Amino acid sequence: MAIPFHKNISTLNAIHDTIITDRYAYRWFTYLVVQKALMAYVREQKPFDELYPYLKQLTHIQTVIVMLFLISAVLFFSFPYIAGAILGGLAILYVRILNKKRELVAQIASEIIKKDFDAAAIGQKTLFQIAEDYSTRLKIPSLVDTIYRLDQIYRNTVIVILLTVLLIYPMRLGWEALALSCVIYFGVANVINLGFLYRHLK
């Protein structure tokens, strides 16, 4: 009797890489790994006892950068050259911190998944199925739900940006309009990362 061969749908490495490269997966797993119910049973264990403090540190740095970015964006209209240079430096720093945080979230998520699923189970589940398991267990919005809702938010944000810019600068689309568009979009992109918003995305 032949033994049926089951081809792996996914691997832990593939899931890890997807969390790093896919913005929706990254944001959802960022929300997942800080759930109190999840942290309660892993935070004091290795390697989580070192990873979580580092995640907290990166998150605080990211928050400070965002606040400085928004302040500099307001000052940009009065001091365009100075504020522009500051904004450029903050943007570079933000990207570097974001890349580190992506790697860290992917590492934490991979370690959690490895604790909850063996290699065979991971091989028979897609990333969405694993996310659905955690969504059901922790009673949080699923990855599919958040992708759908966040797409709506992004589309509406683009519409709001266009209307706002046209109202304020109806006859010209210079650097002021471009700066305002970037500030609005950057602000919305960071607000939708907040945990309280994710709780209401169902």
Mean pLDDT of 152-180: 67
pLDDT: which is higher, 164 or 73: 73
Mean pLDDT of 188-201: 56
Number of domains in the chain: 1
Q: What is the pLDDT of residue 91?
A: 86
Mean pLDDT check: name the lowest of 25-29, 138-142, 175-179: 175-179
What's the domain range around 63? 12-198
Q: What is the pLDDT of residue 14?
A: 92
Q: What is the pLDDT of residue 123?
A: 87
pLDDT: which is higher, 4 or 68: 68
Mean pLDDT of 144-151: 77
Task: Indicate whether 5 belongs to any domain.
Answer: no
Q: What is the pLDDT of residue 133?
A: 93
**Confidence band (pLDDT; 50, 70, 90) for 180?**
low
The yes-or-no verdict on residue 36 having pLDDT over 70 is yes
Q: What is the pLDDT of residue 26?
A: 92
Task: Indicate whether 191 belongs to any domain.
Answer: yes
47: nearest Cα among 138, 133, 109: 109
CA–CA–CA angle 14, 197, 76 (5° rounding): 95
The yes-or-no verdict on residue 170 having pLDDT over 70 is no
pLDDT: which is higher, 192 or 186: 186
Instruction: Report residue 174: phi and psi, to 5°.
Output: -90, -160
